[in-house]
Structure 1
């Protein structure tokens, strides 16, 4: 609720968007949703946690919409964060549908959150923090943009794989995209992280 709009405002020279009412609503929905989902593994729930997950997904999509500005599309360090947040919201939506219908399996929809949301957001933050803490400008080239895109697509491919009768190709594609993403990161950032800071400061 704070980091993504803050980074977006700074990089795009726009006003930082604040949504306190929406943030509180999400807190009051997400915590019971998590508690209900976890407890449902031990006791029969009063109602399906899918309803609260669905509401949480909608609230997350609304919040992401408030944060959006076309200017962020020029900054890989920004669009990677926004797209990974979008993947989280869509993942919640799909997981909710898996609990409320028989069309999807929860464990399969979880891949979108695990790969395209969590892993992709961590990769984007590692890229950003590694630059900032080594005294470098917060700019990345096309190679890192490719890394971000590869990891985001890895989760999409893994999620779509379950919809096919023969998912092996998409499983392999997902794994290959994951490897490409992190090999690029290592190739670009190993020299950065093993060299002195550019500004001469300790660290």
Structure 2
């Protein structure tokens, strides 16, 4: 050997390598590409930059405890009516020496609501059956206004017009949380009928 170095290459492998190089796709660079260009900083979101709806109450209505109000002459027949804070109303179904049993006021022939409430020692406990209809948020306000209109219109000493009495009753019982646009027409007519019924007959 004369000390020379030789590099041996497999002819089949060399042929495969040349084909792979020749068949590889040509890279096309955008004209505005610059390897020295830095990437813009990503905008960081901070907690105080997130918009928060301040109108959402801290406690949702369905999580709030139910409150109860009994209006002694709340029905059209001047019987007791029970109201809860969800807008449901109840009338007396029966009584015992210790308890009063209420059932939902919705009792149409084609839609008899199965919801009930048991009252004992001024405590109210809903029954197992839920309501099958939505509540009316303005139910208590409507009852209170109607009762006051009938009471004042039925007094012989109150000579104010029924619309004036109805408006005063609305302002008396309306609260900041009522948010109910209560129409007084029905209450005014009820008050006028009450006065007409109590008015002495005209001499013949």
TM-score bin (small chain): under 0.3
More strand by share: 2
More helix by share: 1
- TM-score in terms of structure 2 length: 0.24
Q: Rg bigger for which structure?
A: 2
- TM-score in terms of structure 1 length: 0.24
Q: Comparing both chains, which one has the higher relative contact order based on Cα–Cα distances under 8 Å and sequence gaps of 6 or more?
A: 1
